Structure 1
Amino acid sequence: MNKSLHQFFTEDHHRIDKLLNKATEQPDEIEMNYYHQFRTQLLRHIKMEEKILFPAAKKANPVMMKELLPQYRLEHGALTALMVPPPTLFLIKVIRYLLEKHDMAEEEPGGLYDVCEALTHGQTQELLDQLIATEEVPVHPPNPAPIAMESAKRALQRAGYDFDEILRLTNNQR
């Protein structure tokens, strides 16, 4: 099977990861220009999945996708909410952790991308054309209000993750 969609999304994951890595190259410092690019590109990626890939796969097999999509959508909601507060080193640790888990579940053999690729095999070029044409999501500057972080933590909780627990896990790995 041709894995053009899988490759497209996996390469996009790598491109987005590089932007986050550039934003955090300097220890204890966040380069806001790269972080802004990371935010806009991550949100564009989520938009491509939510507005193009998922609907096409759902149209092909609504029952299967009804079972598969809820967790990915909750994680997309959490990632989107995590883009609202100003970045801190702690916030970025949580974002990296969630992205690693999320991306792995999409990319692994038999994962979401393989399922979607199989379901939409007759539409690959049409979908790729739509994905490439997807515009960035307009973003506001980060919101420093405490409610922004509280909302992000609640969205993370709905997706099955705990902000403080992720920080404990990531601090123990170092």
Structure 2
Amino acid sequence: MSAREAGRIERFLSDDHLRLDGLLTRAAADPAAIDRPPYDAFRAGLLRHIALEEKVLLPAAREAQGGEPLPLARRLRIEHGAIASLLVPTPTHALIGEIRKILAPHNLLEEAPDGLYATCDRLLAARAQEIVARMAAYPPVKVAAYNDGPRVLRTAEAALEQSAKQAEARPGPR
């Protein structure tokens, strides 16, 4: 499916990527400080976006494949865990750079012509309107206070490594 022929799921989630990217860009626009209201909106929105994929989209795709997870699912879950861990500490420009190190290739993987969204549009074509309606109605996620403790991860590499270890230890479908 080309970008010109994007399906409902792809349009919905790609539009959310654009919205989130705009918030992050606004939050980091001043090189001397992070603008917290747009960053806080980005953080809450990104956690909700991850929940949409983890709680609605990936389970629907797995169901459509007779219980078999998508080949991309494990990698996406590891990256989602890493991204979420980088949203724990108080934001800095360096931290935003680390978040972007994961988000840029992650979003491309999801938005590619053979990526997650196009795959789900093909697999779930008959249910696409229902899936998008469920995602649109999904409530905001609860966001914890920032935590700057010594065990908080602050680099993309460390976050990905830790998330991969957690995925290996986690039982169940990937």
Normalising by the smaller structure, the TM-score range is 0.7 to 0.9
- The answer to whether residue 139 in structure 2 is matched with residue 148 in structure 1 is no
Cα shift at 1:64? 5.3
- Residue 154 of structure 1 and its aligned partner are, at CA, apart by 3.8
> Could you tell me which residue of structure 1 aligns to residue 60 of structure 2?
56
Q: Tell me whether 1:102 sits opposite 2:114 in the alignment.
A: no
Residue 33 of structure 1, CA deviation: 1.1
- Distance in 1 (CA, whole Å) between partners of 2:141 and 2:149 is 21
Call closer, same or farther: CA 1:153–1:64 in 2, change over 3 Å: closer
- Give the TM-score taking structure 2 as reference length: 0.85
Contact 1:78 1:156 (8 Å CA) reproduced: yes
The answer to whether residue 36 in structure 2 is matched with residue 32 in structure 1 is yes
> 1:20 — aligned with what?
24
- Number of aligned residue pairs: give it: 159
Among all aligned residue pairs of Structure 1 and Structure 2, give the percentage whose two residues are the same amino acid. 38
Which ranges of structure 1 fall in alignment gaps of 5 or more residues? 161-174
One-letter identity of the residue aligned with 2:50: I
Structure-1-length-normalised TM-score: 0.85
Distance 1:157 1:28, change over 3 A: farther
Cα separation, 2, equivalents of 1:146 and 1:153: 17
- Measured at CA, do residues 109 and 152 of structure 1 come closer, stay the same or move farther in structure 2, by a change above 3 Å? closer
* In 1: Cα distance, 2:69 partner to 2:80 partner: 19
Higher helix share: 1
What is the CA RMSD across the aligned residues, in angstroms? 1.9
Q: Which runs of 4+ in 1 moved over 2 A?
A: 149-155
State the 1:38 CA deviation.
Answer: 0.5
